Amino acid sequence: MAKNQKSSRPPKSSLPADADLPVVGMREPCPCGSGRRYKGCHGRGAIDSVAVHRSFEGLGSEPDWVALREIVPSATAPLTLAPDYTAALAGREITLATVLPMAWPALVRRDGSILVGLQTSTHSGDTSRDIADAVLRALDCDPGSPVPPGRPGPGPRLQDVLAPGSTLDVTVHRGFDFWIEGSGVEQRDDVDASLEQANASVVPTQRLTGVDAAYWCRIGPKEHLRWAMPHDEEVLLDALSRLHARGEDSLGEGTRLIGTFRAHGLLVPVWDLVPGTEAAETEVPAAAFRARLDVALAETTDLTEAQRRARAGLANRQVTLR
């Protein structure tokens, strides 16, 4: 789980005050040479400008949008555009990707098909509008070229650009070779270097099939389950507290709910799994937990003292990803 960083002013550097946002990820080193991550240096103004609390609200598969934005390293999902935009697509495929080379907002392959990046360094204050802007610019971009970064102005959001009710059919990848395979993109040293670095840092991840938006991952010697949930935060915290007080919040013997983090208005509970646990072994316990959670979510009585203590503990272990 990520840690909050204390607020600080970016150091002086050679970057001009009005420089465009550089093409780096928010967690990568800042190009000004300060040694800090971009999100804690020159990217801080972009982060602090975020005004939309729940960027993906109203989209089908909202929890998966959050997961692919924040916790899944490499995944893709086909997108379906709203009728007003299908003519410009002209029958081409358009696919959402967690991240593209050098955090490009989008990439148009030589065959005209489009990849749209979700983890980018462009922040207008509304992540949904940022991605929609990349989609629309890609529709007008020449084949075989990336869509350059830029700070979007007022315009449509994903909720306007995507077909109403469309959902994400997520495919998790082991690496980022899909960037290049069949892309027709001209071979470039910067793309090769970005691909090599990205593949070296991929955290093994799998999406569970029996429940929505739950992702198993292996970080070093440990396995975890990170599960993005669509419920109102206060209601979900109450339900998790009820389960904890009853000893029903684990995913089986030797597992433990270690906390939650908040991202784009949703909570993502995180469990430690028994070392060596594979994704397939988590399917049945996750489905059983889903059933217990549904019962707890339906309860409306006041929390008991034990449940209130459990809730306070969960709140103290909560981290906000920004």
| CA pair distance 68, 74, nearest whole angstrom | 8
Supply the pTM of this predicted model: 0.80
**Residue bearing the bigger pLDDT, 174 or 23:** 174
Residue 58 has pLDDT above 60, yes or no: yes
pLDDT for 12 equals 38
Write the pLDDT tens digit of every residue in 98-140: 998 888 999 999 889 999 999 987 677 899 999 999 999 999 9
Architecture of domain 205-320: 2-Layer Sandwich (3.30)
CA dist 171 to 106, 209, 227, 310, Å? 18, 11, 16, 35
Using only the alpha carbons of the chain, give its radius of gyration: 20
| CA pair distance 256, 269, nearest whole angstrom | 11
Q: Where are the domains of the chain?
A: 19-48, 62-200, 205-320
| CA pair distance 38, 23, nearest whole angstrom | 10
